[in-house]
Structure formats: structure tokens, C-alpha cells
């Protein structure tokens, strides 16, 4: 319960298709033509706007390679996904951190104030990892109006249903990233995609490596898009379990779960020490994510699992006493 993976795994159609495929010795199609049509239909924008990557992490790197010169700046609204500052540093840029407010909302005025002549990209995750909250469209558009490239990372889109993808063709500086890791259970195969203004999409295609997405991942994406009803049913089950997990944690009183529109819940620790609780759970085979950094002091992030995972977690926490005698 620490990696935000889909506890139900991939579609059964994915497993069957991968088992039957007989041409793994042949390189994949660098243009991903077999899946572009179904993906266009799923996203609702034309193929000229879509670029497929080996996970959205690859696309983050490619975006920064395109826009950054050494010393250029990237605005990061912490706490958020750690790949933004990591990839910025790899590409020779400088991360400018604009902390979110006490409710973990993006500080729109703070971001605007941080922009200068070296600012090239602004990253916004929505729902945000690890806080689980969504940035409203009206706030995002205030940043788009600055003219700086704004990357809206919607890796957890399917768990909230709120997207700005249809707006991408209208704005020359808006990019949306999505993933198949969370809703489709393909984290181990690395498949994601970006929705770009068409001219930027063409530029990204020109600089990406030709065979960036392996054939197994492309088969898995194809079968996932053909089995949306099954996968969306599992997403619904996770959303239902998210509320059940939150309600049980609130009732227990050890943690104080925050509202979430993703497949995880951020929990300030009310009674005890977050690191100690994490270690307590580790010893019992239950893994959660521990944080001890600004705005996340003494907090745990818990990925939503199946009902039996929730029950095991709650049972373990009920036995936690704190301190050495609780071990």
C-alpha cells in the first residue's frame, strides 16, 4: 500500500494477449499506429496532439530537454511528484519551489511572482501526489495565461474524472500528461502519453528515441483500451474502497485522513510517530509511504487496496500501542 499501484492488476485480456504473442523478436512500430486510433477516441483529441512514451516520466524528461538551457528555471509546487525536480536537475535546470498553502492548493499568485526571464516550465499535478487534491481549471488557466509552458500531470485522472485535455488544442503552451500505470494496472510495463499542442507534439516526436515503447507495453495498451469497461469497474471499486478506508481510519483516530481524489490517502498522524508506525507496519508485512519534509511532517500516504488490504491495515493499527512496548 505504498506505491499507488492498482491492486487488481491489468485486464485479463492483457495477460492473454501477451501470452499468445509470438513476435517479440520484431522491433515495435516507432509511430505506435495500432494504438493511436483507440487512444484518440479515449482522450477526445486528434492524433496529431498525442505522443506516447515509456511512462509519463520519459515525457517529463523530453519536455525539459526541449525547453531548458543550462540555468533555466522550472517552477515546482511542493509537496508534489519528485520526478519534476529530479529531471530538471538532470537537464541542467534549476528548480524554483513555490510551496502549496495549508490546504495543499497551488499558490497561483506565488507562482506568478516567481516567474522571471529564465522561467520555462511550470508543473502542476492534478490530482496531486501525495496530497490527492485537484487544481481547479480556472486556477490552471491563470497560469496558462502567463505564456509559460504549463504541464498538467493527470496521472490519476481516472480516479477523479476532471481533466483539461480538451483545452490543449486551444492553448499553445498547455500540455497534459497521462499514465496507464494507475487505472490500467500497467506500472511494470511503462506506458504513458502526453497531449500537446500539435507543433510541440511534432517536436517531441522528432527527439524521442525511435523504439521508446516496447511491444509488450503497446499490446497491453491496445487491450486495455479495448477493455475499458472492465478497468473502469475496477477504478470504481477503488473509489468505493477509498471512502471505506478513509471512514475506518477516521473512526480509529490514530491517523487523520485528508480528502483525496486519487487512489491514495495522505494521513497526518494524530497519535504517535509516523516513522514508528511505518516500521511497525513493515514488520507485519504492510507497507505504506512515510514522509518527513516541509508540509508533510509526520505523515503517511496509504495506497487504496482491496477490502482485505484495508481490513489487514486497520487490524494492525488497532494493535499499535506506540513506543518500544508497542513493538
pLDDT in tens, 38-71: 999 999 999 999 999 999 999 999 999 999 999 9
Quick one: 203 and 301 in the same domain?
Answer: no
The domain spanning residue 127 has which CATH number? 3.40.640.10
Pair 168, 257 in one domain? no
Kindly state the average pLDDT of the residues 190-212.
96
Give yes or no for a contact between 165 and 195, defined as CB atoms under 8 angstroms apart: yes
Same domain, 75 and 218: yes
Which residue(s) pair with 303 in the sheet? Answer: 264
Question: Can you spell out the DSSP letters for 27-56?
Answer: PPPTT-HHHHHHHHHHHTS-GGGEEEESSH
Give the residue from 176, 201, 227 where a domain finishes. Answer: 227
Give the pLDDT confidence of 222-243 residue by residue, as tens digits: 999 999 999 999 999 999 999 9
Whether the per-residue pLDDT at 321 is higher than 90: the answer is: no
Q: Decide: helix, strand or coil at residue 76.
A: strand
Residue 190's pLDDT band (cuts 50, 70, 90): very high
**Sign of the four-CA dihedral 17, 19, 23, 24:** positive
| Angstrom distance (rounded) from CA 102 to CA 68 | 31
User: What per-residue confidence (pLDDT) applies to 291?
Assistant: 87
Does residue 54 contact residue 180 with C-beta atoms inside 8 Å?
no
Residues 247 and 124 in one domain: no
Contact 71, 82 (CB under 8 A): no
Tens of pLDDT, residues 3-13: 999 999 999 99
Domain boundary among 212, 227, 242: 227
| Residue numbers of the domain that contains 264 | 229-320
Tell me the three state secondary structure of residue 234.
helix
Does a cis peptide bond (omega within 30 degrees of 0) precede residue 127?
yes
- In eight-state DSSP terms, residue 79 is S
DSSP SS3 for 271: coil
Entry pTM: 0.94
In a domain, 95, yes or no: yes
- For residue 170, is it within any domain? yes
Q: Are residues 304 and 218 in the same domain?
A: no
> Does residue 258 share a domain with residue 200?
no
Query: ω into residue 170 within 30 of 0, thus cis?
Result: no
User: Same structural domain for residues 112 and 236?
Assistant: no
Last residue of a domain, one of 179, 198, 227: 227
Residue 207 shares a structural domain with residue 250: no
Examine residue 3 and state whether it is found in any structural domain, yes or no: no
Q: Is residue 327 part of a domain?
A: no
8 phi and psi angles, rounded to 5 deg? -90, -10
88-131: pLDDT as tens digits: 999 999 999 999 999 999 999 999 999 999 999 999 999 999 99
List alpha helices for the chain, DSSP H. 12-20, 33-43, 56-67, 83-90, 108-114, 137-144, 198-207, 215-226, 228-252, 274-282, 307-319
Task: Confirm if 20 and 199 have CB atoms less than 8 A apart.
Answer: no
Q: State the virtual CA torsion across 135, 230, 58, 111 in degrees, nearest 10.
A: 0
Percentages helix, strand, coil for the chain (3-state, rounded to 5) are 45, 15, 45
Same domain for 196 and 53? Answer: yes
Q: Is 21 in contact with 217 (CB distance < 8 Å)?
A: no
pLDDT of residue 322: 66
Three cell numbers written together for 21: 504473442
* Domain count of the fold of the chain: 2
Residue 110 grid cell: 506565488
The C-alpha cell at 210 is: 525511435
The enclosing domain of 309 has a CATH number of 3.90.1150.10
For residue 123, tell me if it sits in a domain. yes
Distance CA(163)–CA(300), nearest Å, equals 27
Residue 326: inside a domain:
no
Asked whether residue 181 is domain-assigned, the answer is yes
Whether residues 93 and 44 share a domain: the answer is: yes
**What is the average pLDDT score of the chain?**
95
The three-state secondary structure class of 276 is helix
Q: Does 173 score more than 50 pLDDT?
A: yes
pLDDT reported for residue 143: 98
What pLDDT does residue 325 have?
Answer: 42
For cell 504513458, the residue is 192
pLDDT per residue as tens digits for the range 19-45:
999 999 999 999 999 999 999 999 999
Percent of the chain with pLDDT over 90: 95
Q: What is the per-residue pLDDT across 267-294, written as a single tens digit (0 to 9) for each?
A: 999 988 999 999 999 999 999 999 888 8
Query: Above 60 in pLDDT, residue 327?
Result: no
In a domain, 1, yes or no: no
* Together in a domain, 248 and 269: yes
Residues 205, 274 within the same domain: no
Amino acid at each position: 500500500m505504498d506505491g499507488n499501484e492498482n491492486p487488481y492488476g491489468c485486464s485479463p485480456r492483457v495477460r492473454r494477449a501477451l501470452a499468445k504473442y509470438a513476435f517479440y523478436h520484431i522491433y515495435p512500430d516507432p509511430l505506435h499506429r495500432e494504438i493511436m486510433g483507440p487512444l484518440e477516441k479515449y482522450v477526445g483529441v486528434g492524433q496529431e496532439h498525442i505522443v506516447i512514451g515509456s511512462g509519463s516520466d520519459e515525457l517529463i524528461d523530453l519536455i525539459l530537454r526541449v525547453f531548458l538551457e543550462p540555468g533555466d528555471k522550472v517552477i515546482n509546487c511542493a509537496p508534489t511528484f519528485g520526478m519534476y525536480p529530479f529531471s530538471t536537475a538532470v537537464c541542467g535546470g534549476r528548480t524554483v519551489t513555490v510551496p502549496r498553502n495549508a490546504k495543499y492548493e497551488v499558490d497561483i499568485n506565488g507562482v506568478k511572482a516567481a516567474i522571471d526571464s529564465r522561467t520555462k516550465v511550470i508543473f502542476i499535478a492534478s490530482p496531486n501526489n501525495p496530497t490527492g487534491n485537484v487544481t481547479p481549471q480556472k486556477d490552471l488557466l491563470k497560469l496558462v495565461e502567463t505564456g509559460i509552458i504549463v504541464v498538467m500531470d493527470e496521472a490519476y485522472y481516472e480516479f477523479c474524472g476532471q481533466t483539461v485535455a480538451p483545452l490543449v488544442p486551444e492553448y499553445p503552451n498547455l500540455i497534459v500528461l497521462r499514465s496507464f500505470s494507475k487505472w490500467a494496472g500497467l506500472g511494470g510495463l511503462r506506458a504513458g502519453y502526453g497531449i500537446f499542442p500539435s507543433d510541440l507534439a511534432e517536436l517531441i516526436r522528432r527527439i524521442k528515441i525511435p523504439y521508446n515503447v516496447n511491444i509488450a507495453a503497446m499490446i497491453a495498451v491496445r487491450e486495455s483500451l479495448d477493455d475499458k469497461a472492465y478497468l473502469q469497474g475496477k477504478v470504481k471499486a477503488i473509489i468505493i474502497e477509498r471512502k471505506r478506508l478513509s471512514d475506518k481510519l477516521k473512526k480509529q483516530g490514530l491517523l487523520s485522513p485528508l480528502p483525496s481524489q486519487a487512489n491514495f490517502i495522505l494521513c497526518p498522524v494524530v497519535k504517535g510517530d509516523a516513522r514508528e508506525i511505518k516500521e511497525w507496519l513493515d514488520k507485519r508485512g504492510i507497507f505504506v509511504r512515510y514522509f518527513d519534509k516541509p508540509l508533510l511532517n509526520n505523515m503517511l500516504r496509504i495506497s487504496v487496496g482491496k477490502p482485505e488490504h484495508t481490513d489487514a491495515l486497520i487490524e494492525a493499527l488497532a494493535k499499535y500501542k506506540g513506543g518500544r512496548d508497542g513493538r
